[in-house]
Amino acid sequence: MTTRKSRKKKQVPVTAPPPPLPPPEEPLMNTKDAAQYLRVTRNTLYLWIKQGRIPVIRMAKQILRFQRKDLEEFVKSFVVEKTAAPVETEPTNPVAVPVNPDEEVAF
């Protein structure tokens, strides 16, 4: 009869699970839907994610989701407000205008 050796169980550190996501008001959008909403390609969307310019929810390493309100705020950040009337500048190549109507001007 063989005897079994008792093995010590490895102690795994206990970590708290991440807090659950709040329920979204609208369903989350995937990368295809988000790219269509922003009217850009998926590659542009991935670039903005990499640059940290756009908020994203990572469900897993390759599963990304977006909230519509975050995308709307992102779009609004590019809106440029109109300024006052444009400032008139002098022409860069002014044409000589005769001061005296009888005077001839050579061009």
Tokens at 61, concatenated = 């390493």
> How deeply is 34 buried, as exposed, middle or buried, from its count of CB atoms within 10 A (0-12, 13-18, 19+)?
buried
- Which residues contact residue 31 at a Cβ distance below 8 angstroms, ignoring those fewer than 6 apart? 42, 45, 46, 64, 66
Q: Are 67 and 57 in contact (CB under 8 A)?
A: yes
Tell me the domain boundaries of the chain: 31-76
pLDDT for 81 equals 73
Residue with the bigger pLDDT between 90 and 78: it is 78
pLDDT confidence band for 15 (50 / 70 / 90): confident
User: What is the H or E stretch that residue 59 is in?
Assistant: strand 57-60
pLDDT digits (tens, 9 = 90+) for 21-64: 666 577 899 999 999 999 999 999 999 999 999 999 998 888 99
